[in-house]
Structure 1
Amino acid sequence: MSLAAVPARAASGATASGAPPAGEAILRRQRVRESAARTYARSFPIVPVRAHGMTVEGADGRRYLDCLSGAGTLALGHNHPVVLEAIRRTLDSGAPLHLLDLATAEKDDFTSALFESLPAEFAARARVHFCGPAGTDAVEAAIKLMQTATGRAGALAFTGAYHGMTAGALALTGNVAVKEPLPGGGEVVRLPYPYGYRCPFGVGGEAGAELGATYVERLLDDPSGGVVPPAAMILEAVQGEGGVVPAPDGWLREMRRITAERGIPLIVDEVQTGVGRTGAMWAVEHSGIVPDAMVLSKAIGGSLPLAVVVYREDYDGWRPGAHTGTFRGNTLAMAAGAATLRYVAAHGLAERAAVAGARMTARLRELAAELPAIGDVRGRGLMIGVELVDPAAEPDACGARPADSALALRVREACLARGLIVELGGRHDAVLRLLPPLTVTDEQIAAVLERLAEAIAAASASSAPAPASSSVQASPSSAPASGSAPAARGGA
């Protein structure tokens, strides 16, 4: 029986002496024991005990539709049968679970599945490097690779970018041999990313993107522009943490042209956009560009930790051990990742993401006409952002109103109360980020949209006297009773 059919239950773990339920005790211990840097645990004070597909069940029996999907990690949702089967098969085979970077049948199979999924022109001349099991380590590896290949130090990056949380780990390392080939950290030159709703040039649309490309080219060619030839340019085809901002395909092609003509390696960070998320297996396929390196993590491990850099063989100038890590050989992740890559390809889930995402985006844009707090709806495939604004404030020259982070917090809480998990991002954390699994059903899409509409309407009204009527109202069946979230509908 699926989780969809399991009724909400009372919290487990309560004792006859009246002790708090197990979930509450776990949350209390977490608050006491874990660091102040906790993030998702603060946003979602629940203790998941079971999960299947898009559904998460808490220790208290409440069920939620998960539109976070491990920040995009769960391409197939929670505990997909093909992933579980791959993990069980590997465990039952007796394969070693940890072997650093030694060759294994599982690694060979994963590498084959990965190269089969990559754009053919890129894969034909590519090498892969297995990194520590997080995207941030793969980013560091990619930058180091290009520093080694070019002998340069700096990098070009963009406003709104997010590439991980590590910083300067190599600077703290005492081993001179691994640092000697590198020319030092160098400076990062920040360039304007094409953000149509809040255009850095104040014009928006294609004109803003064209101005951005012109600015980049002229800055790099200006002998007094202050930019030393960099080791690489790194960008996201769709900025995730930056607020779900898709780059126009034409702008991406211009970045490829500009870097190629100047001998600057182009790194595309596909950590969140990869494995079908944007409606193509890899986000670079929409524009047709062929980068010099791609940074991959999250969904490529089939829900388990895995990160790699894939790059043109021309840049493979590393010495042995130039970028190492204890957990480069995660056998279970490789097995789960290979199964995921092949399942996404065989079942057309990238194409499904394109269709489902277009449907969700269209409905959200209709809601924007009814709910003035929705300033912008954007995205690509099943990577969607809803930017919340203060509708009473004056718009800027491009028609954008100020971001309303307080409203966004209320909406996130209202969503959770209605059995929907969504996270925030973007400028001022005012963008609702929707990252449902690629396996999301039509019924679940309808439920997500309904609950989100109810939550935005309720949160918008909470700071003002309740109107006599509203174009979008919470239905009695979905309104939380006494602060409790009802069991999720639409497959939850």
Structure 2
Amino acid sequence: MEPLIRIRPPGERGREVLRRDAAVISPSVTREYPLVLEKAKGMNLWDVDGNRYLDFTAGIAVMNTGWNHPDVVAAIREQADRLSHGAFMDFCSEPPVQCAEELVGFLPAGLDRVYYANSGAESLEAAMKLARHHSGRNYFIAFHRGFHGRTYGALSLTAGKAIQRRGFGPFLPVVHVPYPDPYRPFGGDPATCGADVVAYIEDTVFRFEVAPDEVAAIVVEPVLGEGGYVVPPPDFLPRLRRLCDEHGILLVADEVQSGCFRTGRFLASTHTGVVPDIVCLGKAIGGGLPFGVTVASSEVMDWPPGSHASTFGGNNLACAASLAVMNLLREEGFGDRVTARGDYLVKRLRELAERHPVIGDVRGLGLMVGMELVRDRSTKEPAPDERGMVLRRAFERGLVLLPAGESVIRASPPLIIGEEDIDTGVGILDRALEDIRGG
């Protein structure tokens, strides 16, 4: 294959598709740069004009086993030839049952009841309804900069960007609190910011906003996703777990982006030994098809027949794809390889930081890595404009990346990435950073 070094605009076909896109697609949908995809394989994307790109996005952390993995494609084709829909809401079929049996095998003991939906947002909606039903309480606590989806319940939990909520209220009763960010620590001390946030919930929220016996659940991303790929201090989730246990509050882990070995373990929450009461999965678990899963214990998932369901939830195609994905994730040493590749990527990006002062912080867990750009390392002023220029220049040179938070570049490549791919991507990033330094 030709080297991934190019600076060229979209071709004629790409420009035509983009023109039609602008004319008929909702303006609420954003485009980071003019990429018009035609096909994908493994670590690579091709646009409609034949240009190849190295992918550091995995389709927003969806294609964890690589684009168009032959085992996943074959499973979808075979299932489509037999039974695609299945109407699992009314009729039983084997793939959804088998998928649930396989999934709980990846999870901590006790998380053994599965509800199927069509997306990560829907899995959060189910979790909210389940938490209210089981607890008999109405309120939720979630975190600033968190993102849980755009449906009404999930959006009520979300507090990442004002534009995502503007004009859509009123929302469900959710109290938002700071997320512990060691780079921008709540309370001022990176070492104690996790404890400081939990103390804020207990000493401030429970005193002045909502009594703990009115809170159904605390909903948390074990690693902050859209809000900036922030890895909280290791004591944060255990402290949150103890707080929930003390007050009879359910702990809901939104693992939609961080799950399926994205961080080196099937669930990011298990890095610190925490077992949530409810787990929400999506994105990678469906192998590229719309899929959402809510998992809880039999004790918590105690709602009666007919109380919640979905026409397409648990459809046979998505379950077949998910089974193929889980079979690949079960390969010996898979999580260890993700951890090793993530460590290597962080190392290479920190080498870039030594040469480019615009890089304020590099952090990550597994292959969920964030590089935060700042205008001044001492003030940590965010650099969103510079971030946009780097993303565009990297794209022009053949590397596809996405933003997160206010000025973070996220790296969430397919988990099959090798060191050579990492070196290629970091080399392109290096040149993109040089481009913006030179104006």
Q: Give the structure 1 partner of residue 436 of structure 2.
A: 459
Match of 1:17 in 2: none
Residue 110 (structure 2) aligns with: 122
Question: Which residue does the alignment assign to 2:13?
Answer: 22
Task: Tell me how far 1:248 sits from its aligned partner.
Answer: 2.2
Measured against aligned partners, the alpha-carbon deviations of 1:116-140 in whole angstroms (never above 9, x if no partner) come to: 1112x233xx211112x11111101
Equivalent of 1:395, from 372, 378, 381?
A: 378
Aligned ranges 1:157-306 → 2 under 5 Å:
157-167=142-152, 187-203=173-189, 205-219=190-204, 222=207, 224=208, 226-227=210-211, 229-306=214-291
* Equivalent residue letter for 2:320: A
Asked if residue 97 in structure 1 is aligned to residue 82 in structure 2, the reply is: no
Match of 2:152, SS state, is: coil
Q: Is the 8 A contact 2:368 2:411 kept in 1?
A: yes
Matched, 1:375 2:360: yes
Q: Give the equivalent residue in structure 2 for 1:174.
A: none
User: 1:323 & 1:148 partners in 2: Cα distance?
Assistant: 11
After TM superposition, give the deviation of residue 324 of structure 1 in Å: 2.3
Encode CA deviations 1:417-460: one digit per residue, 9 max, x unaligned.
1101101111x2x1001010010122111101111111122123
CA distance in 2: counterparts of 1:245 and 1:421, whole angstroms: 21
Give, as a single letter, the amino acid of the residue that structure 1 aligns with 2:395.
L
Change in 2 beyond 3 A, CA 1:7/1:150: closer
Q: 1:359-414: per-residue Cα shift (whole Å, max 9, x none)? A: 110111121121000001011100000001103xx724xxxx10010000100000
Structure 1 residue aligned with 2:59: 70
Structure 2 counterparts to residues 345-356 of structure 1, below 5 A: 345-356=330-341
Cα drift, residue 51 of structure 1: 0.8
Say whether the 8 Å CA contact 1:424–1:431 is kept in structure 2.
yes
Which secondary structure state, in structure 1, belongs to the residue aligned with residue 382 of structure 2? coil
Q: Confirm whether residue 336 of structure 1 aligns to residue 321 of structure 2.
A: yes
| TM-aligned CA deviation for residue 315 of structure 1 | 1.7
Deviation at 1:215, TM superposition (A): 2.1
Structure 2: 5+ residue stretches without partners? 157-169
CA contact (8 A) 2:152 2:171 kept: no
Residue identity matched to 2:400: I
Q: State the partner residue of 1:81.
A: 70
Assess, with a 3 A threshold, how the Cα gap between structure 1 residues 169 and 122 changes in structure 2: closer, same or farther.
closer
After TM superposition, give the deviation of residue 5 of structure 1 in Å. Answer: 7.3
- Contact 2:4-2:398 within 8 A present in 1 as well: no
Output one character per residue of 1:262-295: Cα deviation in whole Å (capped at 9) or x when no partner: 1000000000011110011111110111110000
Q: Is the 8 A contact 1:122 1:291 kept in 2?
A: no
The offset of 1:207, in angstroms, is 1.9
Matched pairs, number: 422
Change (3 A) 1:44 1:122: farther
Query: Within 2, Cα distance between the matches of 1:423 and 1:170?
Result: 21
Contact 2:42 2:69 in 1 (8 A): yes
Residues 291 and 168 (structure 1), Cα distance of their counterparts in 2 relative to 1, 3 Å cut: closer
Aligned equivalents of 2:412 and 2:364: distance in 1? Answer: 10
User: Does 1:416 pair with 2:395?
Assistant: yes
Give, as a single letter, the amino acid of the residue that structure 1 aligns with 2:187. Answer: F
2:425 counterpart of 1:425? no
Q: Give the RMSD, CA atoms, in angstroms.
A: 2.5
Q: Provide Cα deviations, 1:73-118, integer angstroms capped at 9, x if missing partner.
A: 10111101111121122234x1243424232111122112211111
Query: TM-score of the superposition, structure 2-length normalised?
Result: 0.91
2:162 corresponds to? none
1:317–1:113 CA distance, 2 compared to 1 (3 A): closer
Counterpart of 2:388, as a letter, is: L
* Inter-partner Cα distance in structure 2 for 1:161 and 1:170: 10
- Among the aligned pairs, what percent are the same residue? 36
Distance 1:169 1:351, change over 3 A: closer
Cα contact 1:236–1:268 (8 A) shared by 2: yes
Q: 1:110 pairs with 94, 99, 119, which one?
A: 99
Runs of 4+ that moved beyond 3 A: 4-8, 168-171, 219-222, 224-228
CA separation in 2, counterparts of 1:260 and 1:107?
A: 32
Alignment of 1:325 with 2:310, yes or no, is yes
Q: Is the 8 A contact 2:4 2:399 kept in 1?
A: no
Q: Who is 1:360 aligned against?
A: 345
Q: Can you give the 5+ residue segments of structure 1 that lack an aligned partner in the other structure?
A: 12-19, 172-183, 463-492
Alpha-carbon separation, structure 1, partners of 2:205 and 2:34 = 47
Mapped contact 2:123–2:292 kept (Cα < 8 A): yes
How far residue 159 of structure 1 moved from its aligned partner, in angstroms, is 1.4
Residues 30 and 255 of structure 1: is their aligned pair in 2 closer, same or farther, counting only changes over 3 Å? same
SS at match of 1:244: coil
Name the SS for the 2:193 alignment partner: helix
The offset of 1:226, in angstroms, is 4.2
3-state SS of 1:368 partner: helix
Report the Cα distance in structure 1 between the residues aligned to 2:123 and 2:130, rounded to whole angstroms: 10
Correspondent of 2:425 among 428, 439, 448: 448
Is the alpha carbon distance of 1:5 and 1:111 closer, same or farther for their aligned partners in structure 2, counting shifts above 3 Å? farther
Query: Are residues 1:307 and 2:296 paired?
Result: no
> What secondary structure is seen at the aligned counterpart in 2 of 1:246?
coil
Q: What SS does the corresponding residue of 1:239 show, helix, strand or coil?
A: coil
CA-CA distance at 1:163 after TM superposition: 0.5
Letter in 2 for 1:444: D
Q: CA deviation at 1:327?
A: 1.4
SS in structure 2 opposite 1:78? coil
SS at match of 1:206: coil
**Residue 370 to residue 61, structure 1, CA distance change in 2 (3 Å):** same
Larger radius of gyration: 1
Question: Which secondary structure does the structure 2 equivalent of 1:144 belong to?
Answer: helix
Closer, same or farther: CA 221–30 of 1 in aligned 2, 3 Å: closer
> Quick one: which amino acid aligns to residue 84 of structure 1?
V
Per-residue CA shift, 1:30-68, capped at 9, x if unaligned? Answer: 1111111121xx213122112101100111111101111
CA gap of 1:421–1:170, structure 2 versus 1, over 3 A, is closer
C-alpha displacement of 1:326? 2.0
The one-letter code sitting in structure 2 at the alignment partner of 1:58 is D
Question: Which moved further from structure 2: 415-424 or 160-169?
Answer: 160-169
Q: Which of 16, 22, 26 is the aligned partner of 1:31? A: 22
**Which residue pairs with 2:165 in the alignment?**
none
Q: For 2:325 and 2:28, locate their aligned partners in 1 and report how far apart those are by CA, in whole Å.
A: 31
TM-score, length basis structure 1: 0.81
